[in-house]
């Protein structure tokens, strides 16, 4: 019996080439596409979305037909709204800046979709993510590593995966570079070889978070005070969810020096601002920690820590305070350590684990 691999096909070049490569390697390949984002006919936002929409499903189906493989489309509109969109809105309203792609990877793409693929007969689920997997012979644990293409590495967004999930996954592009992906896709005559990459969150394709939050939670977007570090009211904001730590633009405050968002205070519905030095910090607490490299982590370890997707990992000491919480102390101060974002721990290329930054 051939090893059956379902490929999470998004309609883009990466997942399309992943399917083609696995087919070349002799796997029994079946495509599967999630529909998690829909809009009315003629909706410009819907048309702009290049990921997980009806258009994406169509493009994935075209590639599957070209490769002569079966293709399934699964409707995850409701679970995606419940698990990702509602969480995104509630956390913004609570003064955090969440990363919905991480939550989608953990609970939808490699949660529900993996389970459904296995139920349909898959031995493994593959995707076009730029990350690598390896099994540690000494411990038997599955390890997650950075992708070879550092500019496209997506390991940061995969830190939440469990050992069960990692044991069933395949990332065929982890040791390839994006430029090679496009070249190979063109050589294989894949119709999506030159399709643009998705840059924004799939359900906010125009990047206007404020407009999206106003539509989703109009009654929750309440104005409030902008306070300086001494508690003096120096302005008003139009909704806490419209601001994030480190932000300068859009404050509408005339001051003798540049002011930045230092923190958000949901209890007072206040935006706290200050000069640039106030935005820097050396510590953060991390909750909901998922450990990949350890069953039981050491009480203290030294690692490199990324605090957002485009952040360059920095040396830090991690103090483990419970099975799912830790305190991070950076060797050097970092700018805009933001509640709601992920702190991901690395040892070189290996993802040790990670969690959500809290105050």
Which residues does the annotation mark as catalytic? Answer: 104, 202
Q: How many C-alpha atoms does 15 have within 13 Å on its Cβ side?
A: 30
Count of other CB atoms within 10 angstroms of residue 323? 10
Residue 5: which H helix or E strand, with range? strand 4-8
Helix (DSSP H) and strand (DSSP E) numbers for the chain: 10, 17
> How far is residue 330's CA from residue 312's CA, in Å, rounded to a whole number?
13
b/e code 79-117 from CB counts within 10 Å (16+ = b): bbbebbbebbbebbbebbbbbbbbbbbbbbbbbbbbebb
CA pair distance 153, 135, nearest whole angstrom: 19
- Report the C-alpha gap between 299 and 261 in whole angstroms: 33
């Amino acid at each position: 019996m051939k090893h059956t691999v379902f490929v999470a096909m998004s309609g883009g070049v990466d997942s399309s080439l992943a399917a083609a490569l696995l087919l070349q390697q002799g796997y029994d390949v079946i495509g599967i596409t999630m529909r998690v984002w829909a809009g009315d006919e003629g909706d410009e936002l819907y048309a702009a979305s290049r990921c997980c929409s009806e258009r994406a499903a169509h493009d994935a189906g075209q590639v599957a037909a070209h490769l002569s493989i079966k293709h399934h489309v699964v409707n995850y509109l409701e679970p995606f709204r419940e698990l990702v969109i509602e969480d995104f809105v509630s956390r913004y309203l609570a003064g955090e800046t969440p990363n919905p792609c991480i939550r989608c990877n953990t609970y939808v793409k490699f949660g529900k979709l993996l389970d459904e693929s296995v139920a349909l007969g898959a031995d493994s689920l593959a995707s076009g993510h730029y990350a690598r997997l390896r099994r540690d012979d000494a411990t038997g644990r599955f390890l997650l590593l950075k992708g070879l293409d550092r500019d496209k590495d997506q390991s940061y967004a995969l830190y939440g995966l469990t050992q069960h999930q990692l044991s069933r996954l395949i990332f065929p592009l982890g040791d390839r570079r994006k430029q090679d992906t496009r070249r190979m896709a063109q050589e294989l005559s894949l119709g999506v070889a030159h399709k643009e990459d998705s840059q924004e969150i799939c359900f906010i394709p125009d990047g206007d978070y404020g407009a999206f939050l106003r539509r989703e939670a109009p009654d929750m977007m309440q104005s409030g005070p902008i306070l300086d570090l001494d508690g003096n009211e120096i302005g008003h904001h139009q909704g806490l969810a419209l601001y994030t730590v480190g932000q300068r633009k859009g404050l509408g405050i005339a001051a003798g020096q540049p002011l930045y968002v230092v923190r958000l205070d949901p209890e007072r519905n206040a935006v706290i601002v200050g000069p640039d030095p106030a935005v820097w910090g050396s510590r953060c607490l991390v909750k909901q920690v998922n450990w990949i490299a350890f069953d039981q982590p050491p009480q203290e370890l030294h690692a490199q820590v990324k605090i957002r997707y485009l952040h360059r990992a920095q040396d830090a000491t991690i103090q483990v305070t419970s099975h799912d919480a830790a305190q991070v102390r950076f060797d050097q101060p970092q700018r805009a350590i933001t509640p709601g974002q992920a702190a991901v721990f690395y040892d070189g290329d290996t993802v040790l684990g990670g969690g959500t930054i809290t105050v």
